[in-house]
A and B are shown apart, each in its own frame.
Chain A
Amino acid sequence: MSIGKTVRALPTLIKVGFLEAVAYRAELLVWVLSTTMPLIMLALWSAVAREAPVGRFGQMDFVAYFLATFIVRQLTGAWVAWEMNWEVRQGTLGMKLLRPIHPFLTYASENLAALPMRLIVAVPVAVIALALVGPENVTADPVLWIIWCAAMLGGWLITFLANLAIGCLALYIDSSEKFMGIWLALFFVFSGYLGPIELFPQGVRALASWLPFQYQIGYPVQLMTSGIGRGDALLMLARQWGWVWLLLGLVTLLWRGGLRRFAAYGG
């Protein structure tokens, strides 16, 4: 698995991933349309804000927040944990291991190759959102937008690496799908997916700042909707990438250990 070979193979991997995404476009569309949670939460919180703003959030602020949440979720989503569980159960992981490309790269390129399809949904939503809420709710500071690009990459990495880590657990125990379920439940609460973390009680907010979930959704959304200043943005960026490196280390450990076990059972 040399670097040279990998780099040469990447364009093909991406192309294959993209063609797969196009082939399964109906399915992909259904997956995208299933991201209803932000929209339902939007209806809910708008109802709450009908009489009076909630904290600093009026109805328009909630529209901005949840449409941004929808976009970030679309662009950073990953499902590798389920894929790995499936491959371990079916025994096809062995096939992937025979290839001169690291399986993680295959998964990553599949995920990234589906981005254009997901953008097709995300971009119109962004345009509609902008038209609806107007520029007051969108960050005007270009520096924050640059930070946002790094934050989106960080968010994608955290989601992807967490998926990989849980997927690697399938090499140790039969099925790690339950762990994915627990991760998702925690994610929904602490990432700001169900509602802005600012509205949570102080104790929960403090807890959330120590967990990685906020950096998957909440932080990029804050950057997009002018909910944060430059200083705080950089601080949170540092924390986010701290989590990225931590997860990277975890995944490496779990993969190496898991592979040893996997090989021992004949693959």
Chain B
Amino acid sequence: MQYRYDFAVDGLIEAFWIVTALVPLFVVYRMTTTLAGWTFPESLMVIGWFTLLQAVLEGAINPSLTAVVDHIRKGTLDFVLLKPADAQFLVSTAKFQPWRSLNVLTAIAIFAYGFHLIGRPPTLGGLAAALVLLGTATLLLYSLWILTVSAAFYVVRVDNLTYFFESIFDAARWPSSVFRGILRFIFTFVIPLALMTTFPAQAMLGKLSTSTFLTAVGGAVAFAVMARLMWLRSIGKYTSASS
């Protein structure tokens, strides 16, 4: 909160981007009432979850993990590795950017508006399931990020991998049924965007079956384990800057 002007300007620009993100949705729904089986309020839920996860990604995960790339390049990662706590934990919690919390409020506003349009509030069970899926979605996002940063140990300049990652993550704005064929497979199993935004939205709408829910949670945990293994392996390959 050091520079309040910066904080306000950043918040404004965030709001601006969110409006920009909603424009395609408005244009699409001018032309049609359902998009791949999803109505306008239902699609709003997916965008709401996307906004929420973006807040988590850019407020908590991004800054810390970008710092890792810097550490690797400058060779100062040694100092982090020498500490008696787990490297992955230290590296992940280095920095937070609180102004991204405005995105959280925007996400909640989007949810509220969506449910207002539907005309009924979300069920308690739906909300509970959605909250659990928020946890798994964060876990998945974090794992994807750890995988990307593990790549940094092999290819030192990965600044634009963050940009690349965000470009792919952009596809999570839309319900996964929009994608067909090979893309759908990739976005459900390889880069599980569907689990991150579509499933929580479905849970909140009360449309997620229990079996899908359990598979999603199980899948997320398995993915996290795999990411952790990749990280440990990459750290093992790390040759420090000094001799």
Contacts of A201 in B (CB 8 A): 30
- Are A33 and B20 neighbours in the complex by a CB distance under 8 Å? no
Determine whether A228 belongs to the interface, using a CB cutoff of 8 Å to chain B: no
- Are B35 and A47 neighbours in the complex by a CB distance under 8 Å? yes
Which residue of chain A lies nearest to B25 when distances are taken between CB atoms in the complex? A44
- Are B168 and A199 neighbours in the complex by a CB distance under 8 Å? no
| Complex Cα spacing A182 to B23, Å | 15
Number of interface residues of A (CB under 8 A): 34
Which among A35, A36, A45, A54 is the interface contact of B171 at CB below 8 angstroms? A36
Total CB contacts across the A-B interface at under 8 A: 81
Determine whether B189 belongs to the interface, using a CB cutoff of 8 Å to chain A: no
A47-B178, A48-B31, A195-B27 in contact; A178/B13 too (CB < 8 A)? Answer: yes
Determine whether A50 belongs to the interface, using a CB cutoff of 8 Å to chain B: yes
A26-B155, A30-B164, A43-B183 in contact; A182/B16 too (CB < 8 A)? Answer: yes
Contacts of A52 in B (CB 8 A): 32
- Are A27 and B157 neighbours in the complex by a CB distance under 8 Å? yes
Interface of B is mostly: helix
In the complex, how many angstroms separate the beta carbon of A61 from the nearest chain B beta carbon?
14
Which positions 106-159 of chain A face chain B at CB distance < 8 Å?
none
Which positions 47-96 of chain A face chain B at CB distance < 8 Å?
47-48, 50-52, 54-55
Interface positions of B (Cβ within 8 A of A)? 9-10, 13, 16-17, 20, 23-24, 27-28, 30-32, 35-36, 155, 157, 160-161, 163-164, 167-168, 170-171, 174, 177-180, 183
Interface positions of A (Cβ within 8 A of B)? 26-27, 30-31, 33-37, 40-41, 43-48, 50-52, 54-55, 178, 181-182, 185-186, 188-189, 194-195, 199-201
